[in-house]
Structure 1
């Protein structure tokens, strides 16, 4: 065996094991969701004897997962739209509009990346309570924007820094204002980065549990992930129904990863190279 093939096998074995460890929980959850309660009690690891779709139907209609799903779609859509609008404007300003304090402001954005939500959870809850935004969709959207905006600004600033300064100068010479340069030049150029960052922001908001659980106490306004966590107590003796809820919450994320994996990878590396 040549050295190249041997090196390939050395790399392929751990990567294959990692892929198996990643896929197995999804396969196991799907198998459990398709079992009856009796089949699960008798042998939780055996393949489902007959695919029982009643668990999925019951989780979607009877438990309220459809309402939680709609809540998540509305909140995530509004949050991502605001994040991309504010983040792209701030990224363009920090990358191409040099003003007094811009470097300090960018360092502040970097510092905010290292502040976990647990640190600001109590002050944020008090502010939201005082403003009457607790248990409202606008309040949750604003909380998501505040939490994930530093990440969005950082990536878009890094991307816009790779755009040649001559492009901006030429647009200004043609008579465009600062807003014209942003709207007519920078937004179209930044479309790939906006898509990548938007996908990442959507995944962050969709998978969130702590922020939504802190600010949305009522069952009517729960997001999908919080609704799934509530199933654990409600269906602690019916694991297949709980697994069906988990599967419903995981399928949209899986679809996004399958079809937009290139954009996700580009978003992680946005601005890391020049040209």
Structure 2
């Protein structure tokens, strides 16, 4: 029993340290947001003297956070919907349909995961500019789709590979077309994976700064994360207001993660357990 307890402590101590290192910045930011500017200058690490919400109100009203939030919701919803549609169709085709070059196509999608966005950033900006898609919602949605589609295709292909091909063969024998098999069989069966991949892609798109900053240069179309980044310069002397803006941007992500943490874990491990 003693070695077993020692093993548990060996695993628990670094995990507890990792949890503290993860939670502490959030608690520190919340504490700073509750302070006045004078309190922060006197001692940034001391606990706030009371619960004040002035920093949140200033960040929300003074920095157009409501407009940035609406921009983020529009872009994230459009990108996730397009990613799920294209990713599920590609995953179904690559895993269940037999055609020449399917394996090579899957490897091409897999290799795209290893290409950093910085490599394609300049060609993407030029192409989008030539098409008139810079500083538009469709342009940013397409940019997110291009960036995160390989990841979506990989996970959906891995998930659909675990579904017996006899199911799709029986559906075809019953008279269903390829689209009928996809819509009536594969989509319902793939609902858990679609939920997981949708949540992950929503987190990726929501937290992105680089692509949004490249595709949305005007202040009117900024996403929430880009708006929070701009707060650092706008309120460089008012750190509590900046901290309030950071927390406003983080709350939707935290709520989404806490509600769907099991689905997120399933989505991360889908590629390694299926296929």
In 2, Cα distance between the equivalents of 1:177 and 1:126?
A: 40
Bigger mean CA offset, 224-233 vs 263-272: 263-272
Other structure's SS at 1:269 match: helix
Q: Unpaired segments of 5 or more residues in structure 1?
A: none
Map of 2:226 onto structure 1: 226
Other structure's SS at 1:270 match: helix
Deviations 1:28-62 (CA, angstroms, capped at 9, x unpaired): 00000111000000010011102220110111112
Structure 1 segments (4+ residues) deviating >6 Å: none
Could you tell me how far 1:271 is from its partner in structure 2?
A: 4.2
In 1, Cα distance between the equivalents of 2:6 and 2:147?
A: 46
Query: Would you say how many aligned residue pairs link Structure 1 and Structure 2?
Result: 275
Map of 1:102 onto structure 2: 102
Whether contact under 8 Å (1:76, 1:202) holds in the other structure is yes
Deviations 1:154-191 (CA, angstroms, capped at 9, x unpaired): 00000000000111111111111100000000000000
Could you tell me how far 1:274 is from its partner in structure 2?
A: 4.9
- TM-score (norm. length: structure 2): 0.98
- TM-score (norm. length: structure 1): 0.98
In 2, Cα distance between the equivalents of 1:35 and 1:268?
A: 38
Map of 2:55 onto structure 1: 55
Deviations 1:210-229 (CA, angstroms, capped at 9, x unpaired): 00001101000000000011
Map of 2:89 onto structure 1: 89
Whether contact under 8 Å (2:158, 2:274) holds in the other structure is no
RMSD: 1.0
In 2, Cα distance between the equivalents of 1:138 and 1:86?
A: 16
Map of 1:213 onto structure 2: 213
